[in-house]
Amino acid sequence: MDAKENLEHIASFDMESKETWAQDWETDNPEFHTDEVNAMLTKHHDEVTRGRKNLRVLVPLCGKSLDMIWLADQGHSVVGVELIRKGIELFFRDNKLTYNEKSVSLSPENQGTVFKNNGKNITLYECSIFDFSAKIAGGKFDFIWDRGSMTAINMMREGRLKQYTDIMLSCLKPDGRYFLEFFAPESPENTPTQFKFLSEKSITENFGERCTIRYFGKQDMPAWSGSVDEGAVEQEPGPNNQDMKIVMHYYLMDFK
């Protein structure tokens, strides 16, 4: 599939449904996973963390991201939140990490599970991000690394993005920082209308009253993992099959 077809495919997902996410984990490499540590995170780590060590770092909708291993190796305490248990188990399996697990109370009605590896100081919570809080995690965070989580939340029903932003900012210390990544087409031409893209406007609407917002730049999105189908016939470039260019945008937020 090309980029447009992939976006149309993703737009068909019911992002509110746990079953949708579980189906995405039926393979060991779901739609949003990448097998590399994020280049912008490693490049700007010292700047976005102000050169501080031993930070409490939150990674929402973490999946089995290798960014968590890298952040822990920089000396940070990493907490991830993932809805699907298989994603958590694969993270520990793929990185050859042992863990302990126990139940955790999310609310009087809801229970979750917490997985902890002491060797690298990584803790993962199996629960909905909408049931998560700083209280559940034992305190607020110095740094949030949102590696595409907000993109998925934006595809949910009306009001979810504000709810998510409120939860994330409530988890952040007064001097904490929020580093955000999301993707969008470089040009609106030929864009699938059913995909709800984030934009500078939506970032300002959700963060502007409480935070200063700094645009950190952009980079080309790596090729889609499913962009080349086995047995597909290669097409000649032309006006009807030009693949759209997708770019990753990065923003850094601080409380005012």
Q: Taking the complete model, does pTM exceed 0.85, yes or no? A: yes
List alpha helices for the chain, DSSP H.
3-11, 18-24, 39-48, 67-73, 85-94, 134-137, 149-154, 160-170, 200-207
Q: What is the rounded CA–CA span in Å between residue 94 and residue 105?
A: 28
- Nearest Cα to 40, choosing from 179, 211, 207? 179
Q: Which CATH number do you get for residue 118?
A: 3.40.50.150
Classify residue 203: in a domain, yes or no: yes
Burial string for 180-204 (b: 16+ CB within 10 Å, else e) reads: bbbbbbeeeeeebeebebbeeebbe
- At 193 the pLDDT is 65
- At 240 the pLDDT is 40
- At 25 the pLDDT is 84
Classify residue 117: in a domain, yes or no: yes
Classify residue 156: in a domain, yes or no: yes
List alpha helices for 101-155, DSSP H.
134-137, 149-154
Number of compact structural domains in the chain: 1
Beta bridge partners of 79: 58, 123
Classify residue 27: in a domain, yes or no: no
Q: What is the pLDDT of residues 173-200, one digit of tens each?
A: 999 999 999 988 877 666 666 667 899 9
Classify residue 146: in a domain, yes or no: yes
- Taking each helix axis as running N to C, give the angle between helix 160-170 and helix 200-207, from 0 to 180 degrees, rounded to the nearest 10: 60
- At 26 the pLDDT is 81
Which residues does the chain have with pLDDT short of 50?
225-241
Q: What is the rounded CA–CA span in Å between residue 80 and residue 36?
A: 17
Q: Which two tokens stand for residue 46?
A: 């010292």
The answer to whether 99 and 91 are in contact (CB under 8 A) is no
Q: What is the rounded CA–CA span in Å between residue 235 and residue 225?
A: 18
Classify residue 18: in a domain, yes or no: no
Classify residue 232: in a domain, yes or no: no
Q: What is the rounded CA–CA span in Å between residue 59 and residue 63?
A: 9
Classify residue 153: in a domain, yes or no: yes
The answer to whether 38 and 32 are in contact (CB under 8 A) is no
Parent domain of 123: 3-7+35-49+56-224+241-255
